[in-house]
Each structure stands twice: as C-alpha cells, then as structure tokens.
Amino acid sequence: MYKLLLATISMLIATTQISIASDRLPTIPPDQYNPDQKAASAEFEKARKTPVFGPFEPLMHSPEVMSQARSMGDYLRYKSALGNTLSELVILITAREWTQDYEWYVHYPIALKAGIKKEVADAIKEGRRPSGMSHDEEMVYEFSTELHKNKRVSDETFKRVENRFGKKGVVDLVGINAYYTLLAMQMNVAQYATPKEFNKLPRFPD
C-alpha cells in the first residue's frame, strides 16, 4: 500500500511538472496583447504577411526581442550571401542539433523544395553524415557541424568558406546557425507544442 501511494504521488508530481512546463511561455491571445505587443505584432504581420506564429509566439513575452529576431530572420533566411538552398541546409542541421521538432518539420519540406536531396535531409535527421552532397553543401555542412560540436571552426574549414563566399558569407553562415539556434532554444525552453498534424510524424531518434 505504501509503495502504491508513493507511486501515485510521484505520478501526480510528474504530471503537475509537465503541466507547468507546458505553460512556461504560453501563446498570448492577440486580444490580450499590451501596447508594445500590439505594435510588434503589427510590424511582424507587415513584414511577414502573416500573424505571429511558431517560435515568435513565446518570444512575444518580450516583444522587443521578438521584433529584433524577426528582422534578423528576414535577412538571414531570405537574403543571405549563401542563398536559400544552403540556408535551408543549415536550418536542418541546427534543428537536428537542438532536437527541435517544430523547426525540423516546418523546414524539412521547404529544404526539399529548395533543392536539398531527400537522402541528405534524412541522413541529417538520423544523425549521420550525408553522402551525395554538392561541393557547396559539403562545405556548409562541415562548417556548421564543427561550429555546433566544437564551438569553433578550424582554419581549413574557415578558409574554404571564405574563399567561396567571402568574409560576408562567413558572417552570414555563422548568423544562420546562431539565429536558428536562438529560435530552437526559445522553443525548447518554452516546451512549445508542435501542431497536431506534426504529432503523426516520427520524432528524432535518440
């Protein structure tokens, strides 16, 4: 009886912790926005042609951070020196590094449409080094993986990217990794719920 009571208490505590965690940074209904949030939301919709969504929802608890993040993303995702195909590859690498389901399932189809081979994307998801990458993809993969794993990159890896994309390209490549790490961190900390349609898809392997 005592063991059963302890097990029941433990289960209730665990359930409560999960419930609390899921409400860490809950999505704020637009009709409850304060003036700063309303201004940030309007600016977001003007720039992105859509209401606040995804990782920007937990960020709305600090509308200034949300607006700055959105502005940085406008450049890094759509206008960087690397182009959309390589930037989507970086996003997949970052999503996998942070085991961020929402980031992965949003960008996986976008990456395929942008020209990333399905075999390459699937290998990243499984934690394997992809084969069959283009020269540019391999370069970006090595740079991003070194940066995430080693917290720095070797001179050789740096020079390859610099020779191909210039110093601006190096800065942009670091920026894309950093920006999507920021979004992944925010969603992981908030324990941001993935949409229901994502729940039918397989999760990252351990």
Please give the pLDDT value at position 205.
Answer: 62
Please give the pLDDT value at position 11.
Answer: 42
- The structure's pTM equals 0.85
Contact by Cβ (8 Å): 92, 181 = no
Under DSSP, the state recorded for 152 is S
**CA–CA gap between residue 169 and residue 174 (Å, rounded):** 9
pLDDT tens digits for 144-199? 999 999 999 999 999 999 999 999 999 999 999 999 999 999 999 999 987 777 66
Please give the pLDDT value at position 14.
Answer: 39
Contact by Cβ (8 Å): 126, 176 = no
pLDDT along the chain (206 residues), means of 10: 39 38 84 97 96 96 97 94 97 97 94 97 96 97 98 98 98 98 96 74 61
CA angle 74, 77, 79 (to 5 degrees): 75
Fold entry, domain 76-194:
AhpD-like (1.20.1290)
Please give the pLDDT value at position 170.
Answer: 98
* Domains of the chain, residue spans: 76-194
Please give the pLDDT value at position 23.
Answer: 77
Residue tagged 């860490």 (tokens)? 24
Please give the pLDDT value at position 193.
Answer: 80
**CA–CA gap between residue 57 and residue 26 (Å, rounded):** 8
Please give the pLDDT value at position 198.
Answer: 66
Please give the pLDDT value at position 52.
Answer: 96
Please give the pLDDT value at position 145.
Answer: 98
